Amino acid sequence: MATLELRNVNKSYGSGLADTLKNIELAIDAGEFLILVGPSGCGKSTLMNCIAGLESISGGAILIDGADISGMSPKDRDIAMVFQSYALYPTMTVKDNIAFGLKMRKLPPAEIEAEVARVAKLLQIEHLLGRKPGQLSGGQQQRVAMGRALARRPKIYLFDEPLSNLDAKLRVEMRTEIKLMHQRLKTTTVYVTHDQIEAMTLGDKVAVMKDGIIQQFGTPQEIYNDPANQFVASFIGSPPMNFIPLRVQVRDGQCFGRLDSAAGAPGQACCELPLGAAAELEGRELILGVRPEQIQLAAAAAALPSLRAEVEVVEPTGPDTLVFVSLNQTKVCCRLAPDATPQVGSSLDLQFDPARVLLFDASSGERLRPGKRQATDNKVAQFKLG
């Protein structure tokens, strides 16, 4: 149980190269589960290695329980790590693998014996203790790797993409187990992944990274519902958020954006979105972000006007049916109920709540937030057929 704080952490390899980590600021409470998520090369693994002390930082400070540990060697930081490749010592038995760290710390043999037994029981790997890693399946190796980390009872666990070498089914199982384990042990954990589902399901806090910069740091719900920019919005969520380019028109002090459904039928299936009352936005290119599940079949009861669009592709996935249409020459995914089975080529009446869509700057990808006043003004969102 320890707090972890990163203060303005920087990391660069040599002077000529770009920084791999830029001004990283993070703080989590004792017992929290922090997810570092991002595409490969975003710096998340480097950051984890810096926390572990396997790589040195070029600037800033890393604090565990308020103590600066940035100058310490890895072994003194009281951190345990589970590696993507498991990194089990191939010539040692499972038992020796788990005991190695304890032996290095010169624990009395009896204590080591007891700790190995405890961990083995916890992870249900007692029957594997005499085997070598080469004789284990992927899932078993994964358990042993976790056992090695657990045995030390460190202040912080680091997980470096621990599930990415497992097949899909096992991955889901182990994900749940890790969550269970964390709920029981309540040890501060940092978990690196590129899988946004793992990020959403496991984390108390999520840091989305790109190009060595933390794009957003918050709870999974904040990241999902209120992404800081287009990158975060696109990275979290599956199927990903739709991004529809549009141009702002100002009419009566109100901003509108036009959505054209099909090139072939102009004026037939267009609608305009009220985007608030910022007159200076006139003529500006924006990106409209709307999640697939926010787009629904038009229902007469709803106060939302509908938009007619031609169905291009239908993908039934079981729990949902994904329907793809074109809006402003962009492919848009709509996540409909499984009983919706529209024909390709047919027309669908769709609607979504304009109050819930997100707006991004077309060039920078930064989030544009409407002011408070505008939000109340537009309590009733309206679609206008053009």
What torsion, rounded to 10 degrees, do the Cα atoms 244, 247, 250, 255 define?
20
Identify the burial level of 3 via C-beta atoms within 10 angstroms of its C-beta, where 0-12 means exposed, 13-18 middle and 19 or more buried: middle
Pick the binder of other proteins from 1, 67, 180, 355 (CB under 8 A).
67
Pick the binder of other proteins from 21, 26, 28, 49 (CB under 8 A).
49
Residue 141 Cβ vs other proteins, minimum distance, rounded to whole Å: 12
The number of residues that bind other proteins (CB under 8 A) is 37
Whether a cis peptide bond, with omega within 30° of 0, leads into 245 is no
| CB distance 107 to 99 below 8 Å | no
User: What span, in angstroms and rounded, lies between the C-alpha atoms of 223 and 219?
Assistant: 6
Binding mask 110-149 for other proteins (x = CB under 8 A): --------------------------------------x-
**Which tokens hold the place of 199?**
């990020």
Binding mask 4-43 for other proteins (x = CB under 8 A): -x---------------------x----------------
174 scored as a contact of other proteins (CB under 8 A): no
User: What span, in angstroms and rounded, lies between the C-alpha atoms of 122 and 132?
Assistant: 19
* Strands 358-361 and 285-290, sheet pairing: antiparallel
Please identify, using beta-carbon distances, which residue of 75 and 373 lies nearer to other proteins. Answer: 75
68 scored as a contact of other proteins (CB under 8 A): yes
Sheet arrangement for strand 296-297: 296-297, 347-351, 307-310
DSSP string, 274-297: E--S-GGGTT-EEEEEE-GGG-EE
Pick the binder of other proteins from 38, 101, 147, 292 (CB under 8 A).
101
74 scored as a contact of other proteins (CB under 8 A): yes
User: What span, in angstroms and rounded, lies between the C-alpha atoms of 182 and 31?
Assistant: 8
Neighbouring CB atoms inside 10 A of 308's CB total: 18
Window of 78-86, 252-260, 292-300, 314-322 that interacts with other proteins by CB under 8 A = 78-86
The three-state secondary structure class of 369 is coil
Pick the binder of other proteins from 39, 41, 71, 371 (CB under 8 A).
71
Please identify, using beta-carbon distances, which residue of 68 and 366 lies nearer to other proteins. Answer: 68
Region of 19 on the Ramachandran plot (φ > 0 left; ψ -120 to 50 alpha; else beta): beta
Pick the binder of other proteins from 91, 183, 219, 268 (CB under 8 A).
91
Residue 79 Cβ vs other proteins, minimum distance, rounded to whole Å: 6
322 scored as a contact of other proteins (CB under 8 A): no
Please identify, using beta-carbon distances, which residue of 4 and 262 lies nearer to other proteins. Answer: 4
227 scored as a contact of other proteins (CB under 8 A): no
Pick the binder of other proteins from 1, 89, 121, 384 (CB under 8 A).
89
**Which tokens hold the place of 30?**
């004792």
Pick the binder of other proteins from 76, 111, 282, 366 (CB under 8 A).
76
Residue holding tokens 């229902």?
299
Binding to other proteins (CB under 8 A) within 150-169 occurs at 152, 160
Window of 66-74, 186-194, 269-277, 319-327 that interacts with other proteins by CB under 8 A = 66-74
253 scored as a contact of other proteins (CB under 8 A): no
* Strands 19-28 and 313-316, sheet pairing: unpaired
For the chain, state the CA radius of gyration: 25
Contacting positions for other proteins (CB under 8 A): 5, 27, 49, 52-54, 61, 63, 66-69, 71-76, 79-81, 83-87, 89-92, 100-101, 104-105, 148, 152, 160
